[in-house]
Amino acid sequence: MSEKIKNTTCFIRNRLNLAPRRFYTDMPGGTVENGGLPAPEVGIVLGSGLGALADTIETIGTLDYAEIPDFPRSTVAGHRGRFIYGRLGGRYVIAMEGRVHYYEGYPIQEVVLPVRVLCCLGIDTLIVSNAAGGISPLFNTGDIMVIEDHINLLPNPLVGPNDEALGTRFPDMNGAYDPALRALAHSVAEEQGLTLREGVYVGTTGPSYETAAEIRYIRTLGGDAVGMSTTPEVIVARHQGVRVLGFSLITNTLSGNPARLGQRASVSHEEVVEAGAAATPKLCALVEQVVERL
């Protein structure tokens, strides 16, 4: 395994006093027997403006990314940078408050390092969230979409020598977004009286927002929402055999009316962060209940 993934996993495990759970028990670190805390079962990536989900977690420990040697740090406003370990819905979880993006200039392997490490800490479920522009004409600002599938237009993080300790050379991406978890999300949403959309997320490099022609292109490809993250993270989680559930918060719409498809309104980062914050409570309640019923 890459020394960096291994060293970072060990560092976090030691700092948060986590016992190994399922994977990589050869790594140094605590054990439950000698006082280590239970390894997290669920990893959660909190996207743009969704940081408030962190408040729902009964925090046991936190670790700033800045304290972790050679760990990538986000340069984007609205993204904090720390791990939060604690309890949510009766389970041990670890959340990433803030992620790094390819557009910040990090190589794609660095972008996915935090998720690689979450998987090495022993999670068996990863919940990813992001802010996204709505491409489907059915979507409104503030909608929550469960990700049915993705189209990755970012570099693939598995390019390069394959690390057999992590996963196979040619991992299957069919059903990458676990159908049973999606069904669970829909049934929880129904109980909560929440309209939950479903669709295909298209991951692009950004950082420029889409032109009108690019919006038509993404729609033609089969995309329902577009954003600048997530797909590389999901690819590595699936490579490591971790099941995935994903949510996009639709912070702006790019084609409100089919007749005007592609005649997009302008969008700004501030608007995206604001819409994210407004819809966060709904997403928090949904994620908490989903975690409880995993």
What residues act catalytically?
48, 79, 101, 103-104, 131, 228-229, 252, 269
Interface pick for ligand HPA out of 1, 10, 52, 267 (rule CB under 6 A): 267
* Distance spanning both ends of the chain, measured CA to CA: 29
Nearest distance from C-beta of residue 23 to ligand HPA, angstroms: 32
Residue 102: CB atoms within 10 A of its CB come to: 22
Q: Give the span between the Cα atoms of 11 and 192, in whole angstroms.
A: 39
Q: Which of 210, 224, 233, 288 binds ligand HPA (CB under 6 A)?
A: 210
Least distance from ligand HPA to the Cβ atom of residue 217, Å: 13
Q: Which of 93, 254, 283, 284 binds ligand HPA (CB under 6 A)?
A: 254
Closest CA to 96 of 152, 57, 135, 144: 57
Would you say 55 or 270 has its CB closer to ligand HPA? 270
Contact 49, 62 (CB under 8 A): no
Q: Taking contact as CB under 6 A, which single stretch among the options 25-33, 130-138, 162-170, 230-238 is the one that binds ligand HPA?
A: 130-138
226 binds ligand HPA (CB under 6 A): yes
Binds ligand HPA (CB under 6 A): choice among 136, 152, 240, 251: 251
Find the shortest distance in angstroms from Cβ 196 to ligand HPA.
18
> How many Cβ atoms sit within 10 Å of the Cβ of residue 33?
7
Other C-beta atoms lying within 10 Å of the C-beta of residue 199: 23
* Residues binding ligand HPA (CB under 6 A): 131-133, 209-210, 226-228, 251-252, 254, 267, 272
